[in-house]
């Protein structure tokens, strides 16, 4: 059941929503808030958590959405779960992101309210609103541009640790391939296009609507599984996991309602040999999952499809970038922008929270001294 707590000092109100029905009831307001930023990321939209809740049976009641409102106007969204962990035998209560399949995550702060006031409202009331206390908040997977990183520098007991990179292809540069890539990468693309044509007729296609997207999704599952992920990669292919297969299909369905679901497929002699599953936000294309048939690895079909996607979105009036989501080394061929990824933590004013903060601070100082 939804619980409401009013914070008199700031006139902000925190509401907790659980489950598909309650979270679905705020979908329109949530979507509009994300759109108002013009730069919101994938997990800052409601479709992502709704598909997540719909598809994964392991998601329990510990997952919820905390909404911050000002006079019934939505100003912030915090997707969370409350988990337990032990440090030196001490049981700690941790507010964390839901266990999303995507590694880059964030909360959503609207542009019209003080982010400091929003976080203060959230941290002061979240324990009461969930009925459980917490010792620290762990927001792992946020980009350097996140409001959370900036707030970590303001709050007394907090930290922001850089631990990874995430890559982005900016399409603001005209003729990206010819202008940004080095000569070796361009020559490889030209050589592989010639090799591809020598194998027969090929075609690049983009699917944006159902029911065509459902057929394209099957082509995606086949190509993503036709290689190391299903054999040598610990059986990580999506097609081998019913919940993952259901999640991406449900996400496609939800986002297709706003014309933001795309699957790009490369066909050779009528057979799909590479695919790229993408979800669009206001200005970015998120290349969530891709794959290629390793029988054709000498043609580098994945790279040829990426070149096609770059050209496709370069013609768009709205899409300004392709977000590669992770920081894989093979992305570097495309000369991406490297954005820092942070683990941001806020510690509660509880005995365990305070002790944990100072313990980790001392340990971090000792580690840096040794380095």
Instruction: Please check the confidence at residue 3 and state whether its pLDDT lies above 60.
Output: no
DSSP reduced 3-state for 232: coil
* Residues 211 and 294 both lie in one domain: yes
* Residues 12 and 153 both lie in one domain: yes
Burial 193-216, CB ≥16 within 10 A → b, else e: eeebeeeeebebebbeeeeebeeb
Query: What is the model's pLDDT at position 141?
Result: 98
Instruction: Name the token pair of 177.
Output: 């391939």
Instruction: Please check the confidence at residue 10 and state whether its pLDDT lies above 90.
Output: no
* Residues 246 and 268 both lie in one domain: yes
Residue 328 lies in a domain: no
Mean predicted lDDT score pLDDT of the chain: 91
* Residues 125 and 233 both lie in one domain: no
Residue 278 lies in a domain: yes
CATH classification of the domain holding 136: 3.40.630.30
Token pair 């390793």: residue: 294
Q: Which residue has the higher pLDDT, 371 or 146?
A: 146
* Residues 149 and 194 both lie in one domain: no
* Residues 136 and 273 both lie in one domain: no
Q: Which residue has the higher pLDDT, 89 or 214?
A: 214
Q: Using CA atoms, how far apart are residues 267 and 270, in angstroms rounded to an integer?
A: 5
* Residues 159 and 186 both lie in one domain: no
* Residues 93 and 192 both lie in one domain: no
| Mean pLDDT within 175-204 | 97
Q: Which residue has the higher pLDDT, 134 or 33?
A: 33
Query: What is the model's pLDDT at position 275?
Result: 98
Instruction: Name the least confident of 117-131, 213-227, 278-292.
Output: 117-131
Q: Using CA atoms, how far apart are residues 14 and 16, in angstroms rounded to an integer?
A: 7
Instruction: Name the token pair of 205.
Output: 């296609």
Reported as a pLDDT band with limits 50, 70 and 90, residue 62 is confident
The separation between CA 196 and the C-alpha centre of its own chain, rounded to angstroms, equals 33
Ramachandran bin of 175, using left for φ above 0, alpha for ψ from -120 to 50, beta for the remaining angles = left
Instruction: Please check the confidence at residue 4 and state whether its pLDDT lies above 50.
Output: no
Task: Give the single-character DSSP code of 294.
Answer: G
Percent of the chain with pLDDT over 90: 78
* Residues 251 and 231 both lie in one domain: yes
Reported as a pLDDT band with limits 50, 70 and 90, residue 127 is confident
* Residues 240 and 148 both lie in one domain: no
> What are the pLDDT digits (tens) for 137-180?
999 999 999 999 999 999 989 999 999 999 999 999 889 999 99
Reported as a pLDDT band with limits 50, 70 and 90, residue 367 is low
Tally the domains of the chain.
Answer: 2
H-type alpha helices, the chain: 19-24, 27-37, 46-55, 115-130, 147-152, 176-180, 183-198, 212-225, 242-256, 301-314, 351-370
Contact yes or no for 44/106 (Cβ under 8 A): yes
Q: Which residues contact 100 (CB under 8 A, 6 or more apart)?
A: 43, 48, 49, 52
Q: Using CA atoms, how far apart are residues 191 and 47, in angstroms rounded to an integer?
A: 40
Its domain, for residue 257, covers 173-319
Q: Show the CA angle centred on residue 303, arms to residues 301 and 308, nearest 5°.
A: 95
Token pair 């840096």: residue: 368
Instruction: Name the least confident of 37-41, 121-125, 207-211, 333-337.
Output: 121-125
Q: Which residues contact 6 (CB under 8 A, 6 or more apart)?
A: 13
Q: Which residues pair with 167 in a beta bridge?
A: 338
> What are the pLDDT digits (tens) for 219-255?
999 999 986 554 554 477 999 999 999 999 999 999 9
Query: What is the model's pLDDT at position 9?
Result: 43
* Residues 120 and 32 both lie in one domain: yes
Residue 161 lies in a domain: yes
* Residues 50 and 144 both lie in one domain: yes
Residue 252 lies in a domain: yes
């Amino acid at each position: 059941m939804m619980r409401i707590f009013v914070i008199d000092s700031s006139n902000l109100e925190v509401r907790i929503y659980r489950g598909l029905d309650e979270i679905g009831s705020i979908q329109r307001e949530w979507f509009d808030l994300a759109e108002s930023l013009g730069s919101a990321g994938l997990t800052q939209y409601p479709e992502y958590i709704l598909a997540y809740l719909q598809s994964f049976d392991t998601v329990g009641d510990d997952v919820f959405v905390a909404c911050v409102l000002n006079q019934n106007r939505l100003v912030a969204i915090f997707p969370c779960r409350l988990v337990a962990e032990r440090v030196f035998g001490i049981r700690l209560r941790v507010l964390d992101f839901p266990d999303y399949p995507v590694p880059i995550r964030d909360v959503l702060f609207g542009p019209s309210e003080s982010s400091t006031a929003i976080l203060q409202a959230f941290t002061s009331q979240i324990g009461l609103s969930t009925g459980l206390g917490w010792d620290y908040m762990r927001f792992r997977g946020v980009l350097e541009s996140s409001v959370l990183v900036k707030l970590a520098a303001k709050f007394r007991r907090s930290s922001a640790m850089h631990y990874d990179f995430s890559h982005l292809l900016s399409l603001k540069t005209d003729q990206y391939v010819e202008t940004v890539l080095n000569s070796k990468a361009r020559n490889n693309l030209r050589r592989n296009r010639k090799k591809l044509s020598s194998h027969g007729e090929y075609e690049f296609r983009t699917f944006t609507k159902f029911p065509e997207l459902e057929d394209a999704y099957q082509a995606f599952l086949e190509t993503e599984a036709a290689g190391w992920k299903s054999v040598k990669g610990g059986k990580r292919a999506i097609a081998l996991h019913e919940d993952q297969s259901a999640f991406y299909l449900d996400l496609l369905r939800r986002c297709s309602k706003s014309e933001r679901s795309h699957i790009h497929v490369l066909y050779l002699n009528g057979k799909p040999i590479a695919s790229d599953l993408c979800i669009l936000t206001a200005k970015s294309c998120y290349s969530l999952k891709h794959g290629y048939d390793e029988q054709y690895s000498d043609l580098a079909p994945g790279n040829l499809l990426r070149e096609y996607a770059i050209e496709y979105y370069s013609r768009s009036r709205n899409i300004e970038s392709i977000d590669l989501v992770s920081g894989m080394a093979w992305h570097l061929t495309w000369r991406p922008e490297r954005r820092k990824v942070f683990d941001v933590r806020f510690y509660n004013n509880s005995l365990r929270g305070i002790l944990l903060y100072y313990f980790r601070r001392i340990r971090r100082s000792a580690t840096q001294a040794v380095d």
